[in-house]
Amino acid sequence: MANKVLVVAASMVLAAGLAVSAEPSCDSACLSKAMSDFLKAPNSAPLADNAEVRENGKLVSLADTLWKSVKGMKSVMTFADPVTGNVVSRAGVELRDGKPGYISTRLKIVAGGRITDVEISADTSSRVVADYVWKLDPLFSSVLPAEQRMTRVDLEALGRRYFHSLSTHVAIAADFDEHCDRYHSGLRITNVSANAVEGGPPRTCPSSMEGNPPWGPATEERFPVIDPEHGIVVGISLLHYLKLAGQPTMYVCEVFKVVSGRIVKIDNIGLMQPGVSTLGFTH
């Protein structure tokens, strides 16, 4: 009799577990809709209890983010990952003063559509290039043929090698397409005669990581969105400038477009954030 009770109890536990695991997850369309709804009305977002909201690495209230300064959106691209429950948007915006801004937003969506994380990287400085952020490159949103895709594991490994190269200043040339370009808030810094962001001679994607740059190491690397279908990796890191006075840090949020195993374009929002020692999130 006792054995029968144990069997019945075990069956009930198993059934309960199956019921929980069978709960529908938020697929790519669901995640993209959650982001679309957020962008329409950020202050009305369905935050979960104890949700964490950060902008450029600093804790803020949702009402105090730079979205309050946005007059309108000109161009948006969205990247969703149902495996991690994260969705990231890049939005080229017009600010209330008419100037361009570039805002990256990451949301972590859990059961019931609640948002546990709001992570914003926002550049409203004079270096934002309107022609770029107001007309975002459709290359990032293009679907890759099956033969040009990498697995999730390989895409994450590529991203980790990239951030490791930022720390060691030794690039893995084979990870980059020969025509790879990197942009900072729309400002092209590779394959041009003058690098207006970092200075120095003309650079390629791999050579821009080498030499004796002032940054390194890169820490707290996270890859909240990996999308093999579109060849997208979103990488976030804190880049330490140990060679500069005061040892400031840069909050780095990059989107990599990867085709046939090589990075073809990098969209970066990198902001110097003195006093920021951690990015907080773990997702």
181 and 246 assigned to the same domain: yes
Residue-wise pLDDT for 104-143, tens only, equals 999 999 989 999 999 999 999 999 999 999 999 999 999 9
Q: Which whole number is the average pLDDT over 3-10? A: 39
Least confident of 87-91, 92-96, 160-164, 241-245: 241-245
pLDDT higher than 60, residue 6: no
Residue-wise pLDDT for 60-71, tens only, equals 999 999 999 999
Is 8 part of any domain?
A: no
- State the residue range of the domain holding 192: 144-272
> What does the mean pLDDT of the chain come to?
89
Question: How many residues would you count in the chain?
Answer: 283
Residue-wise pLDDT for 197-215, tens only, equals 666 677 899 998 998 888 8
190 and 123 assigned to the same domain: no
Residue 53: which CATH number? 3.10.450.50
100 and 150 assigned to the same domain: no
222 and 152 assigned to the same domain: yes
119 and 192 assigned to the same domain: no
Q: Given pLDDT bands bounded at 50, 70 and 90, which one contains residue 192?
A: confident
Contact 81, 31 (CB under 8 A): yes
As a whole number of angstroms, the distance between CA 263 and CA 181 comes to 9
Residue-wise pLDDT for 151-189, tens only, equals 999 999 999 999 999 999 999 999 999 999 999 999 999
Is 5 part of any domain?
A: no
Is 50 part of any domain?
A: yes
69 and 188 assigned to the same domain: no
Indicate the number of domains in the chain.
Answer: 2
48 and 119 assigned to the same domain: yes
Domain boundary among 95, 119, 136: 136
Is 33 part of any domain?
A: yes
pLDDT, residue 280, reads 86
Q: What does the block give as tokens for 122?
A: 């926002």
Domain boundary among 104, 136, 168: 136
157 and 243 assigned to the same domain: yes
Residue-wise pLDDT for 7-46, tens only, equals 334 444 344 443 333 344 799 999 999 999 999 999 999 9
Is 97 part of any domain?
A: yes
Higher-confidence position of 104 and 248:
104
As a whole number of angstroms, the distance between CA 80 and CA 31 comes to 6
Domain boundary among 77, 107, 136: 136
Is 219 part of any domain?
A: yes
Q: What does the block give as tokens for 83?
A: 């495996």
As a whole number of angstroms, the distance between CA 280 and CA 261 comes to 31
pLDDT, residue 155, reads 98
**252, amino acid identity:** V
89, 268, 271: which is closest to 189 by C-alpha?
268
Strands (E) in the chain, as ranges, are 47-55, 58-59, 70-81, 86-95, 100-109, 115-123, 176-184, 187-188, 218-227, 232-240, 249-259, 262-272
Is 14 part of any domain?
A: no
Q: Which whole number is the average pLDDT over 236-247? A: 87
